[in-house]
Amino acid sequence: MLGDISILYILNTSISWGLFLIIWLVQIIIYPGLSRIPSKGFVNYHRWYVKRISAIVLPMMICEVIITIRWLMLDHYSFYSSASALLVVIIWLSTFVLQLPIHKHLQFGKDDLLIKRLVATNWILAIAWSMKAVAVTLAAVKNSL
């Protein structure tokens, strides 16, 4: 039977790689593609996009926080759990301090400079979620040995 820590590794790895895939789609396709949306339909498209992506990503981010806190406690603040927690803090700060305010401005209309800033600042999330996915995977492999 799987123990608490094994289930945590499975959940953590699944969520981490899911968010990894989403952020790279956003970084490489979706955010750069915003500049290709005509100004006339931009507000409606942006509203449509934000509503749908939030319904997918926000629950995953909340699960990620819960799993990370539990992992810290079960793994006694190991290197991997602590590094993962730090990356989650960076992800949340970047999301709510950088990306969310840009989206709030874009809800009123297309602004190519803000779209470029969104792409540029989103690299923080792409790199942090990539590092987290690798860290969680390394920890899971180490734990299974």
Q: Which two tokens stand for residue 36?
A: 């290709």
pLDDT of residue 145: 66
Neighbours of 27 (CB within 10 A): 18
- Residue 75: pLDDT band with limits 50, 70, 90: confident
Would the pTM count as exceeding 0.85?
Answer: yes
Decide: 128 and 86 in contact? Cβ < 8 Å.
Answer: no
Q: Where are the beta strands (DSSP E) in 67-115?
A: none
89-130 residue pLDDT tens: 999 999 999 999 999 999 999 999 999 999 999 999 999 999
Cβ pair 67, 12 in contact under 8 A: yes
The pair of three-digit structure tokens given for residue 122, joined into one six-digit string = 């989103």
What per-residue confidence (pLDDT) applies to 3? 66
The predicted structure's pLDDT at residue 1: 42
Length of the chain: 145
Q: What is the pLDDT of residue 127?
A: 98
